[in-house]
Structure 1
Amino acid sequence: MEHLLRFAREFSKALKNLLPIVAVVVVFQAGIFRTVPDNPMDLLAGVLIVGVGIALFLHGLDLSVFPVGKNLANQFVRRGALGLLLPFGFAIGFAASIAEPALIAVADQAQLVSGGRINGFTLRVVIALSVGLVLVLGVLRVLRGWAIHKLLIGGYAAVLGLTYVAPPEIVGLAYDSGGVTTNIVTVPLIAAIGLGLANSIRGRSPLADGFGLVALCVMVPMIGVQLYGTWVYNFGDAAPVQPPATDAGAADWVFGMLLGLASMVREVLPNVAVVLFFQYVALRRKLAHPMRVAVGFLMVLLGLYAFVVGLKIGLFPIGRLMAEQLIERGAPALILLFALLIGFATTMAEPALLAIGAQAQEAAPGRISALALRLVVAVGVALGIAFGVYRILVGGPFHYYIMTAYAVVLVLAFLAPSYILALAFDLGGVTTSEVTVPLVTALGIGLADAVEGRDVLIDGFGLIAFASVFPVIAVIVYAMLVERFSPLRKEQP
């Protein structure tokens, strides 16, 4: 009964979080386009299924991913098994990234748009290796107590330096690649590991030291992809592009459902396999409450699947339709308004943000509000996507815009309260997941293809990058304002 009541509460919250998306659709369709979608009930059904998926997902995380991740980190520290902890970090990072659906989609688009010069699988391997290696660095940071701002400032200085010399065809893709490496399963697990380490080591703060791993997972792939792109465009040759395979089972609803479920298993299974290997083989310890953990993982899987099915049934079709309608109208003000509103609405419904916001509030009760964080991050994403759309509409080199945005971040990093930096950069990485990435990518490529004088490869990518960096700015500014105007919340010495 307790679990049913909790599921009902999570479902109710999920529906409330999805209301902004429905409101945006209704306002634009009824008030601006004055049309009714062909299948309005699909939108309603999709929203309900997404709500069920989010509720299952969040409840499953609390039963499985969060306790298992924190417990593993705690066991590694208590046993002094650093030789196991570092390989565990690499394995989790690589396994999660190589099978990430959003990354696969972006890599396939990059191979297609670049005429085969960029190899989709090689791009995925480069990014997965980057994430694996940076998780090793992130674990060392928590163990050694290294200041996160030094790593982030040094890393982003390298990112910006490479941007000067990297081919323009690769820059937007490189910045987008950082935003698609973190999904709604990986982010909570990585966050749980960081928080588990910080809680297990004397002198570490869960807020200042427990967060930051996701931020590093966003940053380092930008370096790896720019290096890969520099090599490809200087020394590589274009490879033949295979035409996209047709979906022979599109008419077979049952086959399609099974295929989709298999895809979700492929995404979740590498993470589960790594966790179980290190738990049973490396540490030789049994899981506490294995049945509860198994049920939790099953709920995560089913919730993620229901989430994606709901998106495909209701939200993605209407999102693509509205993007096409806006591009056909050629009204820049309406396109910017749509980008602003859809950025805010989708972020408020982002499951990974819901999970991390709750963990941040738990790590710093009384100082951080999960709801306030979500609102601030949603505003940041909205402004970032709108800014990226504005760049496509008016033109101008992408790297000038994105370098300016990250330069602002680096300046703010010197001024911000120390406790917020790791969390702020983490939140920039959780805003571009299964909800936002497909809609934003489709909008960017569609605009670049429709606006005269734009190049799809150079200008079509980059919206995800702006959707990642602006929330960092928003959270840091929010924390600075709180510190300035709420003396009771100032960081204790």
Structure 2
Amino acid sequence: MEQLRLFWIMLRGSFGDLAPIIAVIAFFQIFILQQMPDNLLSVATGLFIVAVGLALFIQGLEVGIFPVGENLAQEFARKGSAFWLLLFAFLIGFSTTIAEPALIAIADKAAVISNGKIDALVLRLTVAFSVGFAIALGTFRILTGHPIHFYIITGYIIVVTLTFFVPPEIVGLAYDSGGVTTSTVTVPLVAALGVGLASSIRGRNPVIDGFGLIAFASLTPMIFVQVYGIVVYASGNGEAIAAVAQSVSEHVEHSRTVGQQALVLLLELIDVIKDVLPILAVIFFFQYAIIKKQVPYLRRIVFGIVLVILGLYAFIVGLEMGLFPIGETMALQLTEQDNRLLIYLFAFLIGFSTTMAEPALLAIAIKVEEISAGKIRQMVLRIAVAAGVAVGIALGAYRIVAGDPIHYYIIAGYIIVIILTYFAPRYIIPIAYDSGGVTTSTVTVPLVAALGLGLATNIEGRSPLVDGFGLIAFASLFPMITVMAYGVITEFSAGRTKTQHKEEFE
């Protein structure tokens, strides 16, 4: 009965989260494009399924994923073995990333567009290894208590330096790779690991030290993919792996054909289970083989994991039924319009609305409000992040239309992040860094990638490989700026309030 009541609360919240997306689509369809979608019933049904899936997913996180992640972190802290903890962190990062649907989609697209120059499997392995390395490095930072900004700023300097040596074809892809690594399931588990570890070590603050692992997972792939790009384009052996791109292309076409049949629903459920299984395998192996303890409240944990799988499955099915088709159609229709301002407005609004409905962001925002004892409100944090994504995607769309090199924008953004780091309150910095990784997940990545590639394909003089990638990087960068700005403004306002109260008292 309690679980049903909790589900009803989650469901109402889900419909509230989807309201901005529905409003944006309705506004553009009625007032801008002045036509109703052909598949209106399918769109409405899909959005309803998305709401149900989102509610089940969040309930499953609360019941299963968060508790098991925090319990593992605490057990590792008690065991006192840094080796096993760092190995666990690496395997969680690697196993969850190699099967990440968003990464698979981007890697396949890159292989096809580059005519086999970029190998999809090698790219996925490169990114997965980098994420495993990132989670291990972030865990090491929590153990040592080092300030996070030393690591992150050093990473930005490496990214910026490498940019000047990387072929133009790889720059946008490398920047995007940092945004597609953090999946809807990975983010909550990694966040629970970091918070649980920081809570278990004396002298660590869960807010200041617990967050930040996702930021590492968003940063290191950019470095690794840039190095991979330098090696690939220096070797010039594109013909040798052209067959890989062809087979990928045929596989994508085959999937599209199968997708027209009812069997696709079963295949998608199997895909979701396959995405979750590596995470469960790593968790239960370390729980029983290394820590050698039973999982507490096992039935409750299993129930929560089942809810996560069902919720994520319903969420994906609903997106494919309702949101993706109309989003891609609208992107194409807008590129055919003469008014470029409509493209920027659509990019801004779709960025804001999809981010507000992003499950990974919602999961992190819930955890932030809980750990900060209400000091950081989940709704305010989500609005700040969504505003950053909206500005980032709109600016990224302008960059594609104008044909400007992406690295000028990204480098300028990193400089702003570095400057804000020294003015923002300490408690907001790891959360701000993490916010760049949680914005680009299940909802945002496919729509944003479709918009970028659609613009680059339909605008004369633009290359899909050089110009089409990069929007996800904008969507990851600008939330860091808006969240740190939110922290600066909050602290400034609190300081002014204290000063006024002091003057009134005197």
Q: TM-score, length-normalised on structure 1?
A: 0.98
Tell me the residue number matched to 1:249: 258
- Residue 167 of structure 1 and its aligned partner are, at CA, apart by 1.0
Distance in 2 of aligned mates of 1:25 and 1:489:
41
Question: Any conservation in 2 of the 1:367–1:489 contact (CA below 8 Å)?
Answer: no
The one of 279, 287, 294 aligned to 2:287 = 279
Determine the C-alpha separation between the residues in 2 that align with 1:375 and 1:417.
19
RMSD: 1.1
Q: How does 1:58-97 map to 2 (within 5 A)?
A: 58-97=58-97
CA shift for structure 1 position 81: 2.1
Residue of structure 2 in register with 1:405 after alignment? 413
Equivalence for 1:21: 21
Partner of 1:52: 52
Match for 2:28: what amino acid?
Answer: F
1:43 shift after superposition: 1.5
Q: Secondary structure at the match of 2:70?
A: helix
**Which consecutive unaligned segments of at least 5 residues does structure 2 have?**
499-506
**Which residues in structure 2 correspond to 1:314-393 (within 5 Å)?**
314-393=322-401
1:449 aligns with 2:457: yes
CA distance in 2, matches of 1:326, 1:216: 36
Match of 2:300 in 1: 292
Tell which deviates more after alignment, 358-367 or 434-443: 358-367
Partner-residue secondary structure (3-state), 2:233: helix
CA deviations over 1:346-365 (Å, ceiling 9, x no partner): 00000111110010011112
Where 2:80 maps in the other structure, the secondary structure is: coil
Give the conservation status (yes or no) of the 8 Å contact 1:183–1:433.
yes
Structure 1 counterpart of 2:432: 424
Contact 1:388 1:463 in 2 (8 A): yes
For the residue of structure 1 that corresponds to 2:178, the secondary structure is helix
Q: What is the identity, as a one-letter code, of the residue corresponding to 1:252?
A: Q
Give how far 1:39 is off.
1.5
| Identical counterparts, % of pairs | 51
Aligned to 1:483: 491
Where 2:215 maps in the other structure, the secondary structure is helix
- The Cα of 1:414 is off from its aligned counterpart by 1.8
Cα deviations across residues 152-176 of structure 1 (Å, max 9, x unaligned)? 1111111111111111111100010
Q: 1:46 Cα deviation (Å)?
A: 0.9
Residue 455 of structure 1: how far off its partner (Å): 1.2
For residues 434 and 338 of structure 2, the distance between their equivalents in structure 1, rounded to whole angstroms, comes to 36
Residue 130 (structure 2) aligns with: 130
Counterpart position of 1:191:
191
Kindly report structure 1 stretches of 4+ aligned residues shifted beyond 4 Å: none
Partner amino acid, structure 1, of 2:258: G
How many residues are aligned here?
489
Decide whether the 8 Å contact of 1:55 with 1:303 is kept in 2. Answer: yes
In structure 2, what is the Cα distance between the partners aligned to 1:413 and 1:157?
A: 14
Deviation of residue 17 (structure 1)?
A: 0.6
Deviation per CA, 1:27-70: give whole Å up to 9, x if none.
11111111111111112111110011011001101111100000
Aligned partner (choices 309, 316, 319) of residue 301 of structure 1: 309
Aligned to 1:152: 152
Check the 8 A contact 1:483/1:489 in 2, yes or no. Answer: no
Paired residue type of 1:11 = L
1:106 counterpart = 2:114: no
Please give the secondary structure, in 2, of the residue aligned with 1:143.
Answer: helix
What is the distance in 2 between the residues matched to 1:394 and 1:413?
30
Alignment correspondent of 2:501: none
1:472 aligns with 2:480: yes
Q: Distance in 2 between the 1:250 and 1:103 partners?
A: 20
Distance in 1 of aligned mates of 2:480 and 2:260: 43
TM-score normalised according to structure 2 size: 0.95
Provide the C-alpha distance between the structure 2 equivalents of 1:389 and 1:251, rounded to a whole number of angstroms.
31
Q: Does the CA-based 8 Å contact 1:198-1:206 persist in structure 2? A: yes
Question: How far is 1:251 from its partner?
Answer: 4.1
Deviation sequence 1:183-242 (CA, Å, 0-9, x none):
110000000000000100111111100000000000000000000000111114112121
The corresponding residue for 1:140 is 140
The letter for the 2-side match of 1:319 is G
Query: What SS does structure 2 have at the residue aligned with 1:486?
Result: helix
**3-state SS in 2 of match to 1:146:** coil
Partners of 1:151 and 1:466 lie apart in 2 by 21
Partner secondary structure for residue 182 of structure 1: coil
Q: How far apart, in 2, do the equivalents of 1:375 and 1:212 lie?
A: 20
* Matches of 1:340 and 1:489, distance apart in 2: 33
Local SS of the residue matching 1:441: helix
Question: Which residue type is aligned with residue 416 of structure 1?
Answer: A
Tell me the amino acid that sits aligned with residue 196 of structure 1.
Answer: G
Letter in 2 for 1:194: G
Q: Take 1:236 and 1:87, find their aligned partners in 2: how far apart are those partners?
A: 35
Contact 1:482 1:489 in 2 (8 A): no
Residue 382 of structure 1: CA displacement?
0.3
CA distance in 1, matches of 2:106, 2:35: 31
Deviation at 1:181, TM superposition (A): 0.3
Contact 1:264 1:304 in 2 (8 A): yes
1:346-403 Cα offsets, whole Å, 9 max, x none, are: 0000011111001001111242110100001000000000000000111111111111
Distance 1:117 1:102 in 2: 20
- Please tell me whether the aligned partners of residues 448 and 471 of structure 2 are also in contact (alpha carbons under 8 angstroms): yes
**Cα deviations by residue, 1:127-170 (Å, 9 ceiling, x for unpaired):** 00001111111111001101101001111111111111111111
CA distance in 2, matches of 1:339, 1:199: 39
1:279 and 1:285 in contact (8 A); partners too? yes
Note if contact 1:87-1:136 (Cα within 8 Å) is conserved in structure 2: yes
Take 2:330 and 2:349, find their aligned partners in 1: how far apart are those partners?
Answer: 12
Q: Are the counterparts in 1 of residues 359 and 442 from structure 2 also a CA contact under 8 Å? A: no
Structure 1: state its 5+ residue gaps. none
The 2-side partners of 1:372 and 1:304 are apart by: 25
